[in-house]
């Protein structure tokens, strides 16, 4: 059954060039993200009442799923949510500037944007193995930099993601091979700050 589906991209595979190459985008979206969606749908076949929920809500309620499918939903539901979020948090190079409420909040929490960026880069470079680096809001509306392993979503930990970066090798290996730090540095050129600001303004739910 098809409960969850791949979201449409708002840019073409080569839209994020030269920072993220077209081949990586195509495989990442059509193969990796699609596989998370397929496996999530398979895992949910026996609990159809859960399948009409937005993916974020499904993840918030993952504790009430039958234990034999819970980990599959954490992995593949997390993969679906994380990638849907990731495509939205990127845009054509130079298109979006950090401003408004989020800019002020970042300066308040991290002193200045460069310090924030350095801390985020450190967290992303030093994350061991596959996973994600995040800027999230916690329950006290405080901005925090953190990472998650595998496809674990911040939503499951009660956090609200503002921006997020895929650290799995499939996200960068074709172009950057082992140079994760260079991928991270270049990714800032395609961050969709308009979307980040929207995520921030919606606040913590
Ligand atoms: Mn990925």
Tell how far the Cα of 115 is from the centroid of ligand 1, in angstroms: 26
Single out the residue of 157, 178, 154, 155 nearest to residue 167, CA to CA: 178
**Chain segment 182-193, per-residue pLDDT in tens:** 999 999 999 999
pLDDT of residue 205: 47
144-to-27, 47, 102, 140, 190 alpha-carbon distances in Å: 31, 34, 13, 11, 21
**Chain segment 125-163, per-residue pLDDT in tens:** 999 999 999 999 999 999 999 999 999 999 999 999 999
Mean pLDDT of the chain: 95
Q: pTM of whole model > 0.85?
A: yes
pLDDT of residue 15: 98
Tell how far the Cα of 69 is from the centroid of ligand 1, in angstroms: 21
Tell how far the Cα of 203 is from the centroid of ligand 1, in angstroms: 25
Tell how far the Cα of 96 is from the centroid of ligand 1, in angstroms: 23
Q: Is the peptide bond preceding residue 90 cis, with omega within 30 degrees of 0?
A: no
Tell how far the Cα of 32 is from the centroid of ligand 1, in angstroms: 6
Tell how far the Cα of 204 is from the centroid of ligand 1, in angstroms: 25
Tell how far the Cα of 87 is from the centroid of ligand 1, in angstroms: 10
**Chain segment 80-124, per-residue pLDDT in tens:** 999 999 999 999 998 878 888 999 999 999 999 999 999 999 999
């Amino acid at each position: 059954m098809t409960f969850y589906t791949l979201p449409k991209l708002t840019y073409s595979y080569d839209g994020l060039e030269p920072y993220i190459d077209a081949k990586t985008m195509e495989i990442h979206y059509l193969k990796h993200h699609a596989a998370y969606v397929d496996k999530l749908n398979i895992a949910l076949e026996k609990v159809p009442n859960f399948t009409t929920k937005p993916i974020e809500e499904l993840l918030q309620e993952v504790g009430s799923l039958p234990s034999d499918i819970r980990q599959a939903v954490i992995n593949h539901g997390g993969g679906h949510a994380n990638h849907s979020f990731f495509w939205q948090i990127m845009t054509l190079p130079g298109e979006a500037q950090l401003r408004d409420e989020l800019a002020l909040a970042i300066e308040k929490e991290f002193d200045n944007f460069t310090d924030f960026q350095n801390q985020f880069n450190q967290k992303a470079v030093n994350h061991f193995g596959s996973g994600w680096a995040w800027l999230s809001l916690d329950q006290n509306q405080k901005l925090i930099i953190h990472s998650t392993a595998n496809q674990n979503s911040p939503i499951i930990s009660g956090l609200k993601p503002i921006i997020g970066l895929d650290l799995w090798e499939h996200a960068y290996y074709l172009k950057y091979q082992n140079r994760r730090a260079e991928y991270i540095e270049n990714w800032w050129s395609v961050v969709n700050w308009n979307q980040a600001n929207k995520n921030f303004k919606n606040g913590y739910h």
